Amino acid sequence: MAETYTGLRWRLIDGLIAAGRVLRPGRIAKAQPYLLLLPAVLLVSFLAVGLLWLGWLSIHAYDTFLMQAGKISAEQYALLFEPPSGPFYQQTLLRTLALSLTVTAGAVLLGLPVAYVIIRTPSRALRVALLVLLLVPFLMGEIVRTFAWYLILANRGAVGWVASLFGIEDGGLLGTPIGVFVGMMQVSTPLATLLIMPAMRRIDPNLERAAATLGASPARIWANVIVPLSWPGIVAAIIVVLLLNIAEYDMPAILGLGRLPFVANVIGDIYRLQQNLYLGSAFSLLLLVVSTLLVVVPGLLFLGWLRFRRARRAAA
């Protein structure tokens, strides 16, 4: 009995060695880069399948009364653009874009000096402390953070109280674009700062000193040296912050009191309340297309301009 057991054990080890010879470290090493890509490829594939499914749903008719899918048609897209409901959806899209763009611009404008101060802080301890402060908003949950703003912005909260000191009743900012703006800025500004910092860190501080000796005032050093050299970080910040804000859900729902729904809120309502997967899919895809264009078109224009400038320089 014991002998058979030992024999089996040896056979097992022989097997392992044989398997190891087949899967030689050399072979594994060669395949390794592709193996490491596997999770990402799987993730992207699932996303692609989901998107195709959305696209497939969005081009079907749907009878909302019988709750029954119909033939292939552009009906859902027509609903998004034509009266009676079209204007509401378009208004929602416009509001989403307007607020997202404003918040993005604000976050980048505020993020630039914040990034600069953190990077140029000489004391390492202070710099780390500032970075941690910057990360605090990400450390608390989104809902906790949003409700904290709810308390601040409410009529009987901090803002309302200050307004009442000036004789304004119900001066809270809940349900107003400003309220939503403030809430979104609070997340977007640290994010923009973090994205700008790597590019800004590469700027040699002597460039600023040189610009000063050459006659540039602090404002012109910013305009002519710091901002142009931070450009890669600024572009990254614009893209990431804009896309995150376009898909924003919590802030309009909670701080906007539902009065200022974003596209994500409306899509949620379509799915949950109307239970209309087909219209929801169409609106989702519309948002995807619009936000993609919003990033890609300016990008292409910029690249074209760069090429034009280089050509002109070569011609000169």
Partner 1 sequence: MTAQPRPVPEASAQPAIFRLSGVVKSYGPHNAIDHVDLEIRPRELFTLLGPSGSGKSTILRAIAGLIGIDGGSLTIEGRDVRNVPTHQRNIGMVFQSLALFPHMSVFDNIAFPLRMRREPQGDIARRVAQSLDIVRLPKIAERRVHELSGGQQQRVALARALVYNPKLLLLDEPLGALDKRLREEMQLEIVRLHREIDVTIINVTHDQVEAMVLSDRVGVMSDGKLMQVGSGEVLYRRPANRFVADFLGRANVVDGTLRIDGAGPAVITPGGARIAVTPERQIPDGRRATAILRAEDIEMAVPGDSGSPGLGGEVTLRLFEGEAVYYEIAVPGIGRPLRVASRTGEIPNGAKVRLTWPRDKVWAVAEDSDG
Cα 149-188-208 angle, rounded to 5 deg: 130
Q: Which of 4, 206, 272, 273 binds partner 1 (CB under 8 A)?
A: 206
Which residues, 23 to 52, sit near partner 1 by CB under 8 A?
none
Q: Is 209 in the site for partner 1 (CB under 8 A)?
A: yes
Among residues 29 and 219, whose Cβ is nearest to partner 1? 219
- Decide: is 309 part of the binding site for partner 1 (CB under 8 A): no
Nearest distance from residue 122's CB to partner 1, in Å? 11
Q: How far is the CB of 227 from partner 1 (least distance, A)?
A: 10
- Of the candidates 36, 216, 185, 30, the one whose C-alpha atom is nearest the C-alpha of residue 106 is 185
The Cα 213–Cα 84 span in angstroms is 64
Phi-psi region at 221: left, alpha or beta (left = phi > 0; alpha = psi -120 to 50): alpha
Whole-Å CA distances, 97 to 27, 38, 246, 264: 50, 35, 6, 12
Select the span of 87-95, 149-157, 173-181, 219-227 touching partner 1 (CB under 8 A): 219-227
Phi (first) and psi of residue 61, to 5 degrees: -75, 155
Residue 159 exposed, middle or buried by CB count within 10 Å (0-12, 13-18, 19+): buried
Q: Is 204 in the site for partner 1 (CB under 8 A)?
A: yes
Residue 214 is a binding residue for partner 1 (CB under 8 A): yes
Half-sphere exposure of 282 (CA within 13 A, CB side): 21
DSSP 275: -
| Minimum CB distance to partner 1 smaller for 192 or for 199 | 199
307 binds partner 1 (CB under 8 A): no
* Structure-token pair, residue 84: 């009676």
Binding of residue 68 to partner 1 (CB under 8 A): no
**Is residue 316 close enough to count as binding partner 1 by CB under 8 A?**
yes
201: contact with partner 1 by CB under 8 A: no
Our finding on whether 91 is near partner 1 (CB under 8 A) is no
- Partners of 68 in the beta sheet? 63
| Beta strands 60-63; 68-72: pairing state | antiparallel
Provide, rounded to whole angstroms, the least separation between the CB of residue 204 and partner 1.
Answer: 6
If one asks whether residue 236 binds partner 1 (CB under 8 A), the answer comes out as no
DSSP, collapsed to helix, strand or coil, labels residue 83 as coil
- Contact residue for partner 1 among 13, 37, 168, 207 (CB under 8 A): 207
**Total binding residues toward partner 1, as defined by CB under 8 A:** 20
Residue number with CB closer to partner 1 (86 or 218): 218
Name the site residues for partner 1 (rule: CB under 8 A): 204, 206-207, 209-218, 220, 224-225, 228-229, 313, 316
